[in-house]
Amino acid sequence: MNSSEVFLQKIAGSDATARAGDIDRLHELCICNSCLTYNECMREKGELLFCIRGRSPSCTFEKKGCTCPTCPVTKLAGLSRTYFCIRGSKQEQRSTAQGL
């Protein structure tokens, strides 16, 4: 199991109160809203943490740059991919690559 899987399992395996606290702390570290690709639709819906929660379910946008590699959340989670807002979480990207 790699570091990102361990990180995500820790969050998923905690009780609801601890999980909510973990998510709140990650929200504070998240820099999605400073990315050039982040747009008004995402802002209005309060969408953040695409690397954890997955791609934006309803917003459309164009690639204008990606701050994922410099984000404290992706570093903390041991993630190395980009454009999570478009491509989805690591798990979503893996499923897409496997044709699932």
Q: Are 71 and 31 in contact (CB under 8 A)?
A: yes
Q: Is the pLDDT of residue 6 over 90?
A: no
Q: How many domains does the chain have?
A: 1
pLDDT in tens, 22-81: 889 999 999 999 999 999 999 999 999 999 999 999 998 899 999 999 999 999 999 988
Q: What is the extent of the structural domain holding 51?
A: 3-97
Rounded to whole angstroms, the Cα distance separating 64 from 45 reads 20
